[in-house]
Amino acid sequence: MGLRGEWDGSVRYALSTLMILACLLAGCQQVHSNVTRLSEMPAVGHGTFVIVPLKAQEGSLEFQTYAANTARHLQQHGYQLVMDTRQADFAVFLAYTVHNPQSVSGVMSLYGQIGGGYNRESGSFTMSGAYGSPYGTYSGSTCTAPTYIPYSRYHYTRVLLMNMVDLHKSTPTQLHTSFEGRVISSGSHRFEVVAGCLIDAMFDGFPGSNGETKMVQISLDSCSK
């Protein structure tokens, strides 16, 4: 096989191992979310809205980032952003949290070219010596055990909630909610890493069918920021 062949095999093994580990730890970069929406909003949006922080969100850069992303989505669906509640038709509220982060560990086996299994080899050889240069061929098979690589990561359950309150139908003692949305997603990324994916999932087919829960899959690389 030679040094070049051994080097190429080692490089392929290292690269393949890194790609598989990256896929495992990142969930192959796909964010799966279950989206539930209760809505009396029209299919074509109209009206003005303001995003109102909860008490704990006031002054939070994290909230401002999620609010700006949410506002862009609402504008794309026909709503107009205003900064004064007195000019708004709807007040939008966001809530987000992570439930029960758990440590997950185990081992991953690698087979075939990068870890083990059956391989058949063949070739030729020439020997030089005092009695000439005899020539021959060889063939055979080898069996190597798979390589096991341990891994450990955290698993998070991420939740995003969004409510839209109709300010014209509300009273000082009774709020009238026109939209309630809930996105639940589990994976190895923290909430802030996949927040754009969860907001995108919230607005997938917005405002959605009333009472329907659907699964939305989005590539992490394509999520809004």
Query: Is 68 contained in some domain?
Result: yes
pLDDT confidence bin for 45, thresholds 50/70/90: very high
> Does residue 198 share a domain with residue 91?
yes
pLDDT confidence bin for 216, thresholds 50/70/90: very high
- Check residue 225 and give its pLDDT: 84
Does the structure show a pLDDT above 50 at 11?
A: no
> Does residue 201 share a domain with residue 176?
yes
Which amino acid, one-letter code, is at 39?
A: S
- Check residue 191 and give its pLDDT: 93
Q: What is the mean pLDDT of residues 150-174?
A: 88
> Does residue 218 share a domain with residue 188?
yes
> Does residue 125 share a domain with residue 159?
no
- Check residue 100 and give its pLDDT: 73
Residue range of the domain that includes 194 = 29-106+150-222
> Does residue 70 share a domain with residue 86?
yes
Q: Distance of CA 67 to CAs 5, 49, 131, 144, 179, Å?
A: 55, 12, 85, 54, 16
> Does residue 168 share a domain with residue 61?
yes
Query: Is 208 contained in some domain?
Result: yes
Tens of pLDDT, residue by residue over 17-28, are 555 455 544 445
Rounded to two decimals, what is the model's pTM? 0.68
Of 192 and 140, which is predicted with more confidence?
192
pLDDT confidence bin for 113, thresholds 50/70/90: very low
Tens of pLDDT, residue by residue over 58-107, are 999 999 999 999 999 999 999 999 999 999 999 999 999 987 766 655 55
For β-strands 90-110 and 117-126, DSSP reports them as: unpaired
> Does residue 202 share a domain with residue 127?
no
Q: What are phi and psi of 111, to 5 degrees?
A: -115, 175
* CA-closest candidate to residue 73, choices 187, 184, 178, 208: 208
The domain that holds 86 is classified in CATH as 3.30.160.670
